Amino acid sequence: MRAQCRAAGMTDAVIAHRVRSERWRLIRRGVYQTEPGRSGWPVEATAALLAAADVSPYAVGELPAWTGTPPVALWGESAARAWGQEVRRPRPGIALVVPVGRVVAAGEGTTIRRVRKWEGLVDEHQFPWRTTRAATVIDCGSLGTEDGAFNWLSRGVRDGFVRSADLQAELARRRRVRHGMLMREALGDVAAGAMSAAELRYVRSVERPHGLPAAVRQRRSEAGGGSYHDNVYQDFAVVIEVDGRLGHEQWADRVRDGRRDRQLVGLTGQWTSRVFWPDVAVTPCATAVEVAGLLRARGWTGRVVTCSRVGCPVEAWSLPQGA
């Protein structure tokens, strides 16, 4: 940074000479790369942070540090990338967040978000500065669709990136956040074992609103191999696997899953049925009818109920004679 250079006794002329001679590279206004050759998003993100920070001079050779909460941080998908989280089809540019009242000039390709509740939002022990793990997941979940929010919550907890309790605490400290009510409700299902948007859809759109019995989530398979079942109706020896859009496209995956299903029938008498993304996202009511029929065939005596969706076909479903 220019402030560091001046603190070390360098003049503007010396700095300009090093840039002209290509010993240094000017990345952002007042921010230089002193070892040219490295490039890419991490370099650009760090430069954007330093340009916006307007910090006091550091000792020569020191990494940027800050006493207390940093004055600016990466947020949203930019924070997720800094944390090493996969971002599918990331938005272009670098997203920064600053406290309300702080004046920051957004450089090219940089967007600035201002927030009132700054305390506790930024992880003070990581550089490049970024929002906390919980704040990052909530922010990313609020940027896209409901299913995107489900995916960020379930993936974050499943992969051990963030604790469900920390996500609940982060939602509690915010008055309003897009998809906030949905995320608050979904966190209970995530903590119970729902591992993807498709699995959450099964619980929230198929099972629960139609009065089906509650399955045990992510139960270890008796077929061995360290695998788990998405939904186990233990009292009725029924397993419902939810195959989402990812992870089940390859033929080898389908062969493996089919073999495990057949092993379960022979070992435990459990019958496995598989539902797919369209079943839980497009036709959840019809899927509920099908699952209810399977459960009744295995001894369930309950009744499937009509949900709040317009045209729910449950009313037209007739139970077997004598039921």
Divide the 323 residues of the chain into consecutive groups of 10 and give the mean pLDDT of each group: 64 70 68 70 84 53 54 94 90 90 79 90 91 97 91 91 94 90 88 85 94 91 73 93 63 59 64 89 92 93 90 65 43
Q: What is the DSSP letter of 322?
A: T
**pLDDT score at 322:** 43
- Residues 6 or more apart in contact with residue 131 via CB below 8 angstroms: 73, 74, 75, 76, 79, 97, 121, 122, 123, 139
**pLDDT score at 49:** 85
**pLDDT score at 292:** 94
**pLDDT score at 288:** 95
**pLDDT score at 202:** 93
What gap in Å lies between CA 259 and CA 250, rounded to an integer? 15
**pLDDT score at 229:** 85
Give tens-digit pLDDT for 111-136.
999 998 898 999 988 989 999 999 99
What gap in Å lies between CA 191 and CA 162, rounded to an integer? 12
**pLDDT score at 211:** 94
Report yes or no: 62 and 3 within 8 Å, Cβ to Cβ. no
Instruction: Quickly count: other Cβ atoms within 10 Å of residue 120's Cβ.
Output: 15
Give tens-digit pLDDT for 25-71.
766 666 776 676 677 788 888 888 888 876 433 333 444 445 567 88
**pLDDT score at 295:** 95
Distances (CA, A) of 227 to 155, 216, 264: 18, 15, 12
**pLDDT score at 240:** 94
> Which structural domains are found in the chain, ordered by start?
2-38+48-53 (no CATH), 73-192 (no CATH), 197-316 (3.40.960.10)
**pLDDT score at 271:** 85
Q: What is the pTM of this model?
A: 0.73
